[in-house]
Amino acid sequence: MTDHATAFAPGRVNLVGEHTDYNDGLALAFAIDQGVTVHANALPGQRIEAIASDLGEADEFVLSRPPAGAGWRAFVRGAVAELQRGGVQLDGARLQISGEVPRGAGLSSSAALEVALCLALIALTDVPAPPRVELAQICSRVENEWVGARTGLLDQLTSLFGERDRAVLIDFRSLAVQPVVLELDGHHLLILDSGERHSNAASGYNARRRECQRACELLGVASLRDVTLEMTARLPEPLARRARHVVTENERVLAAVQALERRDLGELGRLLDASQASLRDDYEVSTPAVEAAVLRLRRAGALGARVIGGGFGGHVLGLLPAEARAPEGVLEVHPGPGARVLADSRT
């Protein structure tokens, strides 16, 4: 058995493919070097103790009956409950959580927390971790059913499948994940804080998901992956615009993969701009603060810029040439490896 373990899960940046995951669509994303680390130590009995080091807060509950919770506690309790629901027999544990992904930034700190918690808890058992797709689904249930955000699998799959110097092309219908070389020829991917905090559970994220479901009902299809651009004209507003965003965003994902294969960074920048315009006008998840951040990056010479994450605040991604002078306060992001157990001790 393992008496202690350390697990790390990265946040992610989505190049193109926003709000497509819960519509059986496509996305092109990459894991980043920043993430969440969970140190786990085995405890006798049925007690789970958790400490959020960054917040100076603690939690404690019985393993067999995790209660509902709020904030970071909901993630811990949900991870314990959903792992057991998935057939993983857990033991008591003390969990110490720390993170370097800004919360509310649209960089998927939530998924990083879920994945790191699950990997650390599993490492204390005698069983291997489930396949990565299955583990992503377990983590997604934590966010859906315990935290209250009806997200898809984008964040969890990217955190688990990330590779150094590569993005991942994800098909959310088949759950196939394909690495894509991210060669930028001296260009930089930078993120800029809009100054407005983003929260999937508290924002209009769930409302957008309901609108997509309603559009499918009216068109008689299983998901918006089955819809063409012509079909969106049959829908009333704002459903027509919501569906149009998803259809065109899927097209932009495939175009972005082709642009990277050709090393056509100008085209990649154009696609970032087109995605932002669609998120602003059709999906309506941008804000004045986000638009101001986009403008700052464009004025600095960005080939393209767009909000990342669910929208309604958070960070903006920009693709800048090497010679461009980046605005103050930006953070350069690099594609890094996916989630992993860093260390453990066998007894």
Rounded-to-integer distance, Cα 167 and Cα 29, Å:
5
Q: How many CB atoms lie within 10 A of CB 231?
A: 18
Pair of tokens at residue 326:
């980046």
Which SS3 state, helix, strand or coil, does residue 147 take? helix
The answer to whether 37 and 75 are in contact (CB under 8 A) is no
- Just list the catalytic residues: 155
Rounded-to-integer distance, Cα 249 and Cα 267, Å:
15
Within 13 Å of residue 49, how many CA atoms lie on the same side as its CB? 8
Which amino acid, residue 9? A
Q: Is the peptide bond before 238 cis (omega within 30 degrees of 0)?
A: yes
Within 13 Å of residue 60, how many CA atoms lie on the same side as its CB? 5
Bridge partners of 5, per DSSP, are 40, 344
Pair of tokens at residue 114:
């879920």
Pair of tokens at residue 266:
């100008």
Rounded-to-integer distance, Cα 147 and Cα 238, Å:
27
DSSP characters over 288-337: HHHHHHHHHHHHTT-SEEEE-TTSSSSEEEEEE-TTS-PPTT-EE--B--
Cβ-based neighbours of 145, under 8 Å, separated by 6 or more? 78, 82
Q: How far is CA 1 from the centre of its chain?
A: 32
Question: Residue for token digits 């082709």?
Answer: 258
Cβ-count burial 99-117 (b if 16+ within 10 Å, e if not): bebbebbbbbbbbbbbbbb
